[in-house]
Amino acid sequence: MEKNIKLANDLLDFIQQAPSPFHVVKEASVILEKAGFVQLKHEDRWDLKKGGRYYVTTNDSALIAWIVGSGDFEKEGFRLAQTHVDSPSIRIKPSADMKAAGGVLKLNAEVYGSPILSTWLDRPLALAGRLSLRSNSVLHPKQVLVDFDEPQLYIPNISIHHNKGVNSGVELNPQKDMLPMLGLLNAAKDGKDSLLALLADKAGCKPEDILDYDLYTSEYERGCLMGLQKELISSKKLDNLGLVYASIQALCAQTTPVGTPIICCLDNEEIGNRTRQGADSPMLSTVLERIASALGKDREDYFRSLQQSFMLSADMSHAVHPNAPDRSDPVVHVELNGGIVLKVSGAQKFTTNSESSAVFQQICETAQVPCQYYVNKSDSPGGSAAGTASITKADMRSVDIGLALYAMHSIREMGGTADNAYMHDMLEQFFKQGN
Question: Tell me, what amino acid is at 108?
Answer: N
The single-letter DSSP state of residue 236 is T
pLDDT band per the 50, 70, 90 thresholds, residue 187 = low
Give percent helix, percent strand, percent coil of the chain, each to the nearest 5.
30, 30, 40
| Dist. CA 113–CA 316, nearest whole Å | 15
Positive or negative, the Cα torsion across 290, 295, 296, 297?
negative
Over 50: is that where the pLDDT of 191 sits? no
Find the helix packing angle between 354-367 and 417-431, rounded to 10°: 100
Q: Coil, strand or helix: which one is 391? A: coil
Calculate the alpha carbon distances from 229 to 234, 338, 406 in Å: 14, 16, 18
pLDDT tens-digit map of 199-234: 999 999 999 999 999 999 999 999 999 999 999 999
Residue 122 exposed, middle or buried by CB count within 10 Å (0-12, 13-18, 19+): exposed
Q: Which of 44, 81, 76 shows the shortest CA–CA distance to 309?
A: 76
Calculate the alpha carbon distances from 33 to 56, 100, 264 in Å: 12, 46, 16
pLDDT tens-digit map of 240-273: 999 999 999 999 999 999 999 999 999 999 999 9
| Dist. CA 202–CA 130, nearest whole Å | 12
Q: What average pLDDT does the structure give for the chain? A: 96
pLDDT band per the 50, 70, 90 thresholds, residue 192 = low
| Dist. CA 311–CA 51, nearest whole Å | 20
Q: Which of 339, 314, 334, 312 shows the shortest CA–CA distance to 399?
A: 312
pLDDT tens-digit map of 32-55: 999 999 999 999 999 999 999 999
pLDDT tens-digit map of 118-148: 999 999 999 999 999 999 999 999 999 999 9
Percent of the chain past pLDDT 90, that is, above it, reads 93
| Dist. CA 72–CA 187, nearest whole Å | 65
pLDDT band per the 50, 70, 90 thresholds, residue 189 = low
Contact between residue 174 and residue 111 where contact means Cβ atoms under 8 Å apart: yes
Over 60: is that where the pLDDT of 275 sits? yes
Q: In terms of DSSP bridges, do strands 104-112 and 181-184 run parallel, antiparallel, or are they unpaired?
A: antiparallel
User: What is the per-residue pLDDT for 64?
Assistant: 98
